[in-house]
Chains A and B, each alone.
Chain A
Amino acid sequence: MNQDQSPWRYAVNIGLIGALTVVMLSLIGMVESFSKRDIIYRVVTMGNTLLLLTAIFLSYLAAKKAGREHAATAVGSAILTAVITAAGVALLVAIGKTINLRMVFINASPVLYQILTFYIGPKGIPLVLLGGLLSGLAAGLLFLAPPSIRKTIITALSAVVIAGVLQDMLRPVIALWGPLAKINLFLFAANGLSIKGAIGLFVVVAILVYVWGQKGSAVKTKVQGLPAGQQRNLKLASMLVLAFILLVLPKILGLFLSEVLTIVGLYVLLGLGLNIVVGFAGLLDLGYVAFFAVGSYVVAILTSPELGFFSMNFWTALPFVIAAGILSGVLLGVPVLKMRGDYLAIATLGFGEIIRILVLSDWLRPWIGGAQGIGQIPNISIAGYTFTTPQQVYYFILAGCLLVGFISWRLRDSRLGRAWMAVREDEDVAQAMGINLVATKLMAFATGAGFSALSGAIFATKIGSVYPHSFNVIVSINIICLIIVGGMGSIPGVIVGAFALVGLPELLREFAEFRLLVYGAALVAMMLLKPEGLWPDVKRRRELHIDEDENVAEAEEATVSA
């Protein structure tokens, strides 16, 4: 973006981008499909919200460009942007009503036009423009508001939108809370939040955020002022609370959400493994799913009575699974030792495909089942207790995540972790400091592959069968994406990323056709707005914000290490 562009010019430009965006969102059917779900019953649908957010976000950017010193210009350009965006909708309706766009755009249905014009038809066009004007005004004022108020409003509104979007998940969960289940009656209507529920939620969240904003830093400094012993106790107490929550989670969430949690957990496991390769050692591995496949197939071959080779139990098979994972990691690692960056990415991509095609092949069919895969993989059991339902499997995956998370965390600060960091930053310098490049890289591949094979084994026993099509390259891409969105090299980032990119789409299954689009948009938005990720590693943050205030980085480090 050109720095010395006038704010008005900029407002027009991103307004046009906004117009294109909303027209595209409408024509691909996203608006219509999202309109089936109300955020607030009979007032706002998810479809409206989508368009509204586009307009508000872009006009906020326009206001930001003008700057706080020029209040009038800021509000003006925000309104300009939003009105241009709304004009995109208006134009679409006008054109769509005169010529039949359906020949080309299958989603340009009469229903769409009804939705876009508040169910009034072409006469609603002025209303659309007015809506644009108001959202621009709102964005402009929001920008001018003091930060504490802005944060309060944004968070409270987000809470309302999230509660609306996730209504189908929240309702049954709250219903399980015994006497508290009455909240449902207050909060929700037939479809979406009730008006009083939405207002109530907004007010409660706003108060909480505002109070925390005023008092939060005081509480933090107070905690930091406590003697070390008490601080440790406090930390211990919060850990215990967290552990308790993790333990009762499947009881609170019920069957479906526990299933979602187990899937997220598997991706956390995979993400932690790949995070070592990509985040710690900086080796872009796109064939990571191969090790997942190796783990799944090894456990299947060793445990499934269907094949009748070994029929081991999970625990006897586990060492073989990990060994096979590590071995295949080294096997991939050796030929690509000299490669970096994009070459490495392509070579590993090829490796992933080789494994998938191998398991699919007729040649290996007698041993690993070809396209039909392998079934009858027994569940995992410890001392007579078998993990069968998602709620039970959850505990097993949780234990796996904790273990792997702990290992990752220890590795990061270890000698090996420092060697990975050095290799990631500069291979030549790393060597000039006496780091064994070959061993360091192979250790990264091997460790990552071991974790991946472990997740593969858990996955196979959870599903009870393995099929080649589970090991598509898209799995590797998903994992890379969740690492990027969470924050490269950051362990909590992997968890956040897995919830955002795996958990959320599972909850929004009915919109699955737009999943990749949302993925792409989320990645682009991330790269523009928060390239370091949602929960970045301290050092990565520094890399991208090196010109900013040093004290910020130091203060953050202090809180992280505290």
Chain B
Amino acid sequence: MAMLEVEGLHTYYGHIHALKDVSVNVEEGEIVTIIGANGAGKSTMLKTTSGLLKPRKGSIRLNGEDLTQLRAHKIVEKGVVQVPEGRRIFGTLTVMENLDMGAFISKDTQKNKENLDRVLQLFPRLKERSKQVAGTLSGGEQQMLAMGRALMTEPKMLLLDEPSMGLAPVLVDDIFDTIRQLHDAGTTILLVEQNARIALQVASRGYVLQSGSVVLSDTAENLEKNEMVREAYLGE
């Protein structure tokens, strides 16, 4: 049994059928990526998994437990935490206040302190800028903060929505190094990316989403070799 089992998901925005029978599995300790073009439904898939959107059909299970009907904040309590697309940090709070907000659900101050230390170790840049107002951070730093904030709850599973979006190549490498480190530390990660090249480098398996349906799923290695993927997503 996989850790996360998403089966036959159908999600709608009013009449728009955004996800059509999407099934995705993630094993414990794995990095799995979902790649696809703009508007393919990647964010919709993540939002449905994290409970921000409710599917019309299909089921989401974590370690066998059904999450489909749970509200978003309950799913966070189960250990599934999403880092939304586009670095949505609290711009008017300082870096430290943002991280504190991340630990909202946990009242265990000792544990929060440990988690904070861990996050600051992972992102030394955040430590240097802990008193800075988050809205004035650079794009890369904001992405780090968004990830750091999500890590404050010590998630079992992290849902990352396009962490590379709008970042310079050097910064993208930095972020993906961190993703590898998180993986090494045992966090299971579901990664949504338009940048297929780098996503397939860190992931062990991947799904290709096209107009709301999964058209291909395989190991990352095979996907990198796949003719269609090479043409459509790797630009070769």
Contacts and interface: CB of A to CB of B under 8 A. Distances in A.
Interface string A409-434: 00000010011011001101101111
Most interface-central of B77, B90, B149 (chain A CB within 10 A): B90
Nearest to A537: B92
A554 B96 CA distance: 13
Interface stretch (A82-90, A129-137, A446-454, A540-548): A540-548
A437 interface: yes
Contacts of A554: 131
B132 A433 contact: no
Interface residues of B, number: 30
A422 B84 CA distance: 14
Contacts of A426: 88, 90
B3 interface: no
Contacts of B91: 425, 543, 546
A418 B92 contact: no
Interface in A189-214: none
B101 interface: yes
A433 B73 CA distance: 7
Interface in B123-174: 131-133, 135-136, 149-150, 153
A4 interface: no
Contacts of B90: 421-422, 425-426, 429
Contacts of B83: 432
B72 A437 contact: yes
A543 B92 contact: yes
B161 to A, nearest CB: 10
A553 interface: yes
B71 interface: yes
B104 A434 contact: yes
B214 interface: no
A251 interface: no
B48 interface: no
Question: Size band of the A side of the interface?
Answer: 20 to 34
B76 interface: yes
A428 B135 contact: no
A429 B81 CA distance: 10
B104 A546 contact: no
A542 B131 contact: no
A433 B105 contact: yes
Interface string B49-80: 01110000000000000000001110011000
Given A550-B133, A553-B133, A554-B131, A432 B82 contact: yes
Given A542-B135, A546-B135, A546-B136, A434 B153 contact: yes
A413 to B, nearest CB: 12
B102 interface: yes
A426 B153 CA distance: 18
Nearest to B102: A433
B93 interface: yes
A542 B91 CA distance: 9
A542 B97 CA distance: 14
Given A419-B104, A426-B88, A431 B73 contact: yes
Given A437-B73, A542-B135, A553-B133, A432 B150 contact: yes
A262 B82 CA distance: 50
A148 interface: no
B35 to A, nearest CB: 22
A505 B72 CA distance: 48
Interface string A532-562: 0000000110110011001001100000000
Nearest to B150: A432
Contacts of B82: 432
B77 A422 contact: no
Given A438-B71, A542-B133, A432 B84 contact: yes
A435 B149 CA distance: 14
A543 B131 CA distance: 15
A286 B143 CA distance: 36
A433 B136 contact: no
A431 B135 contact: no
A186 to B, nearest CB: 49
B72 A429 contact: no
Most interface-central of B76, B83, B149 (chain A CB within 10 A): B76
Interface string B84-127: 10001011110000000110110000000000000000000000
Nearest to B51: A431
B156 to A, nearest CB: 14
B101 A433 contact: yes
A436 interface: yes
B92 A539 contact: yes
A415 B84 CA distance: 23
Nearest to A557: B94
B104 A435 contact: yes
Interchain residue pairs A-B with the least CB separation, the first 3: A434-B105, A434-B76, A431-B72
Interface of A: 415, 418-419, 421-422, 425-426, 428-429, 431-438, 539-540, 542-543, 546-547, 550, 553-554
19 contacts: A421-B90, A422-B90, A425-B90, A425-B92, A428-B84, A429-B88, A431-B50, A431-B72, A432-B52, A432-B76, A433-B76, A433-B149, A434-B73, A435-B73, A539-B92, A542-B92, A546-B136, A553-B133, A554-B131
Interface of B: 47, 50-52, 71-73, 76-77, 81-84, 88, 90-93, 101-102, 104-105, 131-133, 135-136, 149-150, 153
Given A418-B101, A432-B83, 4 more contacts: A426-B88, A429-B88, A433-B101, A550-B133
